[in-house]
């Protein structure tokens, strides 16, 4: 097959949580879930998810039911899922009403759906990250600044200067709203950008470091291994697409003896 859909988006795991037991979602890629019953806390998220909400985020995602609840979740991998994570950042609950058809697609994937269904789900979730519960203006402004300038942003000190607030106030507001400090969020965005660039062998690690805000390849490797668990080289090798199938010559060019 010349085109491999799995390279771009594939469902590699499904999970169904039913009851009151806490659980942690792990594994590389984007987790997406639909909470069909009950109320559930997401570690690092100030507000709990409620029936009808969409769960989105990279692992690990620690869930603590506040009552008997039901969650159907799928884990998506591939280049498109990586691109989605680059903009998403940390885990969150979003309004399920903004994603018509997402619940049905998740149910089909749980039944053994194929890559096109996984890509369809990703399309259905396209605007879910924009419909999360409103953030405080300061946090929303900080998020926009990080996403737009992560490659050149020196750190939290420079960010707080741009926003005109103290560092302690920024960190407190950011962590209260998203569950992580702004420095951690900035690192997550940079790591996802690194993964996107690693998908091609066009860039060396030194070039990738320069394009994503790291001071050099050695520092990039240390941070990447700390956050992801493996080196950038190992991640690139694991994410590399299969070798292309040699193109057969047209019959007019075949040689007969």
What CATH code is carried by the domain that includes residue 182?
1.10.10.60
Domain edge (last residue) among 86, 103, 130: 130
Bridge partners (DSSP) of residue 34 are 54, 72
Q: Rounded to whole angstroms, what are the CA distances from 36 to 16, 52, 75, 243? A: 11, 5, 18, 41
- Give pTM, 2 decimals: 0.56
Question: What are the tokens at 109?
Answer: 């994937």
**CATH code, 18:** 2.60.120.280
Q: Could you list the residue range(s) of the whole structural domain that residue 224 is in?
A: 137-239
Q: Where are the beta strands (DSSP E) in 26-174?
A: 30-37, 39-42, 49-50, 54-58, 61-65, 69-77, 92-94
Tell me what pLDDT residue 99 has: 76
- Do 164 and 212 lie in one domain? The reply is yes
Q: What is the mean pLDDT of residues 129-147?
A: 78
3-state SS assignment for residue 190: helix
Residue 247, in any domain of the structure: no
Tell me what pLDDT residue 255 has: 45
- Do 18 and 118 lie in one domain? The reply is yes
- Do 28 and 81 lie in one domain? The reply is yes
Residue 221, in any domain of the structure: yes
- Do 97 and 207 lie in one domain? The reply is no
Bridge partners (DSSP) of residue 154 are none
Residue 213, in any domain of the structure: yes
Per-residue pLDDT of 26-35, as tens digits, reads 998 999 999 9
Tokens 């507000």 -> residue? 47
- Do 69 and 178 lie in one domain? The reply is no
- Do 81 and 179 lie in one domain? The reply is no
Tell me what pLDDT residue 254 has: 47
Residue 72, in any domain of the structure: yes
Residue 3, in any domain of the structure: no
Cβ-contact 91, 57 below 8 angstroms: yes
Question: What are the tokens at 154?
Answer: 């020196």
- Do 19 and 104 lie in one domain? The reply is yes
Residue 233, in any domain of the structure: yes
- Do 24 and 121 lie in one domain? The reply is yes
Cβ-contact 42, 61 below 8 angstroms: yes
Provide the domain count of the chain. 2
Tell me what pLDDT residue 161 has: 93
Per-residue pLDDT of 205-236, as tens digits, reads 999 999 999 989 999 999 999 988 899 998 88
Residue 245, in any domain of the structure: no
Say whether pLDDT at 153 is over 80: yes
3-state SS assignment for residue 147: helix
- Do 45 and 97 lie in one domain? The reply is yes
Comparing 184 with 128, the larger pLDDT belongs to 184
Tell me what pLDDT residue 70 has: 92
Say whether pLDDT at 13 is over 80: yes
pLDDT band at 128 (very low <50, low <70, confident <90, very high): confident
Comparing 52 with 253, the larger pLDDT belongs to 52
């Amino acid at each position: 097959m010349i085109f491999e859909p799995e390279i771009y988006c594939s469902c590699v795991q499904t999970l169904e949580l039913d009851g009151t037991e806490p659980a942690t979602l792990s594994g590389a890629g984007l987790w997406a879930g639909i909470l069909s019953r009950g109320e559930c806390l997401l570690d690092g998220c100030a507000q709990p998810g409620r029936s009808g909400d969409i769960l989105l985020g990279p692992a690990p995602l620690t869930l603590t039911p506040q009552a008997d609840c039901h969650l159907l979740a799928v884990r998506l991998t591939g280049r498109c899922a990586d691109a989605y994570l680059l903009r998403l950042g940390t885990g969150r609950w979003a309004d399920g009403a903004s994603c018509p058809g997402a619940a049905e697609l998740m149910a089909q994937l749980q039944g053994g759906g194929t890559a096109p269904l996984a890509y369809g789900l990703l399309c259905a979730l396209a605007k879910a990250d924009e419909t999360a519960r409103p953030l405080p203006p300061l946090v929303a402004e900080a998020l926009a600044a990080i996403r737009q300038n992560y490659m050149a942003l020196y750190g939290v000190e420079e960010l707080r200067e741009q926003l005109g607030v103290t560092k302690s106030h920024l960190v407190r507001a950011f962590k209260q709203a998203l569950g992580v400090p702004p420095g951690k969020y900035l690192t997550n965005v940079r790591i996802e950008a690194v993964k996107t660039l690693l998908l091609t062998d066009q860039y060396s690690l030194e070039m990738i470091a320069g394009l994503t805000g790291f001071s050099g390849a050695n520092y990039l490797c240390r941070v990447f291994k700390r956050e992801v668990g493996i080196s950038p080289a190992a991640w690139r090798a694991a994410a590399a697409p299969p070798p292309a199938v040699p193109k057969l010559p047209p019959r007019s060019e075949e040689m007969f003896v």
